[in-house]
Structure 1
Amino acid sequence: MAKKISEKTLKKSFRTWFFWNGCSQQAESMLGMAFGQAMAPVIDELYDTQEEKAAALQRHITLFNTEAQVGSICNGIVCGLEEANANGQCTPELISSVKVALIGPTSAIGDSLWVATIIPILLTICLSISQASANMLWLGPVIYMLVYPIGTAALSWFLFKLGYKSGLEGMQTFMATGRLNLLTDTMTVLGLIVVGALTASFVSCTLPIQIVKDVYDATTNTILESQVLFNADSVLNSIFPQILPLSLTLGVYGLYAKKKWSPLKLMGLILVLACLLTFVGYATGFYA
């Protein structure tokens, strides 16, 4: 008999994400722990053995970040994929790839549409109502406090259900047409692109080595301008953009995946190296 997520479990998963998505946010996995917690009731219902449940939960506590309201569509899609996986119609690798690939689009749409457009418009309307009359000062905040949570919940639940239906039906379509491998490869490539973009955006690593020529005014013995003749960062980026952040990320990944270093040990190593290299920079005059 095919396994199916009950409506009760879907609602429980949605409520967990909606109310607690930001409670465990931290630098290592961002919203990953909250995502895993929201998936816990779904995993409990779909899988029978502790090993299957542990493997499913482990793939959902990794790095995940999005705009929480619009991002609920990710939860719905993943629920649909997990249901398909429990019925042998999907693979764990595809679930992880799809989840990572959705980070960029849902973040961009959520931040631009919900955070930067709808909420400011709602605030403007409520402020205008309050400013219309001294007797109406209370009405604007009340309208906002009612419309915002109700509208947010309605939008999130709609997107969650849409994602669940799309994820499940999409998997059934790909299984029927025999294109599952194509979808897996496509999502893997897209996921790698997203991870690469995150690396370039969030990892900061520079090489402050440069050769500078100072132009002096002999009469006043002052520096008129400093001409940069050589800049190591510019040269490296012209050869391979963001090569230093990429190298640092791959190095950390190698220690984590191959040498089995813990995240705490890796953070300690990065902190020690940052302090040491900063000291060397000041001692040698690279930092003014």
Structure 2
Amino acid sequence: MKKKISEKTLKKSFFNWFFWNGCSQQAESMLGMAFGQSMAPVIDELYDKKEDKSAALKRHITLFNTEGQVGSICNGVVCGLEEANANGECTPELISSVKVALIGPTSAIGDSLWVATIIPILLTICLSIAQTSQTTAWLGPVVYMLVYPIGTCILSWKLFKLGYKSGIEGMQGFMSTGKLDTLTDTMTILGLIVVGALTASFVNFSLPIKIVRDVLDVTTGTMLKDQVIFDADKIINSIFPKILPLGLTIAVYNLYSKKKWSPLKLMGLILVIACAITLVGYLTGFYA
């Protein structure tokens, strides 16, 4: 009788991955242990002999890495391959090769689609809701806390089932048509646009250096008090709007990605710079 993975076991495998995919991440095998844990119920149902179960678990705790949400399609594909292997229609070597081949595409799509596009868009919506009114500011975080986990779970489960049903043939067909590269490039561009919009909307950096003087109005002969005759922030934004938040974002990105600074160290640097500029401004009398 042909072996088939039950719906209960598929769900157990998926939730093992969904809740614990990042808990075992380390330098040696990255997400390998989590992948093995996800495949454990599937292996236990498909194989009867202890040595077969042991061999299957060993090939799934090797090096593996992907984006956790979109990457669930890898688990689904491998579930289908393990089912085929248990029925003598596949080989362990093919399963291992497929796992390695899926790391690149699923990581690229996952990071572009989920991390760089969907999450920033959702954050933008929720931040906008939180800023509309003080009385309903709590609604933004609540919407995020509900939509993010539920939406993530639905997306991951659909991709898991898609991988299981389509198997390696479906993935090969998708990659051979060139749609994978097109989707990845499109999501990358969309993600950069969203990040740029977030920078302009939610990163604030002003330079409130002003020269304020009393000015004589020669037409009326009256003295106008506290007139702004020089505003550095206004002049800069008239030449290049939002260039200061853009510059701050690029500087922080370079320190984080290139110099490997920690977020805590970056926040400390920004605080020190802000205090220094504020102190200089008040000591020189440039801050109105």
Distance 1:30 1:168 in 2: 23
Q: Tell me if 1:152 matches 2:152.
A: yes
- Aligned partner of residue 25 in structure 2, secondary structure: coil
Quote the residue 1:94 is aligned against: 94
Q: Could you report, residue by residue, the CA deviation over 1:223-271 in whole angstroms, capped at 9, with x for unpaired residues? A: xxxxxxxxxxxxxxxxxxxxxxxxxxxxxxxxxxxxxxxxxxxxxxxxx
Distance 1:161 1:170 in 2: 12
Structure 1 unmatched runs, 5+: 175-182, 187-288
Q: Could you report, residue by residue, the CA deviation over 1:106-144 in whole angstroms, capped at 9, with x for unpaired residues? A: 000000110001000000000001101111110000000
1:71-90 matches, cutoff 5 A: 71-90=71-90
- Aligned partner of residue 120 in structure 1, secondary structure: helix
Distance 1:119 1:168 in 2: 29
Asked if structure 2 preserves the Cα contact closer than 8 Å seen for 1:24 and 1:33, the reply is yes
Letter of the 1:126 partner, please give it. C
- Aligned partner of residue 68 in structure 1, secondary structure: coil
Asked if structure 2 preserves the Cα contact closer than 8 Å seen for 1:83 and 1:168, the reply is no
Distance 1:149 1:140 in 2: 15
Letter of the 2:118 partner, please give it. I
Distance 2:168 2:23 in 1: 29
Asked if structure 2 preserves the Cα contact closer than 8 Å seen for 1:13 and 1:39, the reply is yes
Cα offset, 1:68, TM superposition: 0.3
Quote the residue 2:42 is aligned against: 42
Q: RMSD in angstroms over aligned alpha carbons?
A: 1.9
Quote the residue 2:250 is aligned against: none
Asked if structure 2 preserves the Cα contact closer than 8 Å seen for 1:84 and 1:168, the reply is no
Asked if structure 2 preserves the Cα contact closer than 8 Å seen for 1:80 and 1:165, the reply is yes
Distance 1:93 1:42, change over 3 A: same
Quote the residue 1:13 is aligned against: 13
Letter of the 1:90 partner, please give it. C
Letter of the 1:21 partner, please give it. N
Distance 1:20 1:44 in 2: 19
Distance 1:110 1:169, change over 3 A: closer
Letter of the 1:156 partner, please give it. S
Quote the residue 2:60 is aligned against: 60
Instruction: Tell which structure's C-alpha radius of gyration is larger.
Output: 2
- Moved beyond 3 Å, runs of 4+: 168-171
Distance 1:56 1:62 in 2: 11
Quote the residue 2:222 is aligned against: none
1:66-215 matches, cutoff 5 A: 66-167=66-167
Quote the residue 1:22 is aligned against: 22
- Aligned partner of residue 26 in structure 1, secondary structure: coil
Distance 1:124 1:29 in 2: 35
Letter of the 2:77 partner, please give it. I
**Number of matched residues?**
174
Quote the residue 2:282 is aligned against: none
Distance 2:130 2:21 in 1: 32
- Scaled by the length of structure 1, the TM-score of the pair is 0.59
Q: Could you report, residue by residue, the CA deviation over 1:180-222 in whole angstroms, capped at 9, with x for unpaired residues? A: xxx9xx9xxxxxxxxxxxxxxxxxxxxxxxxxxxxxxxxxxxx
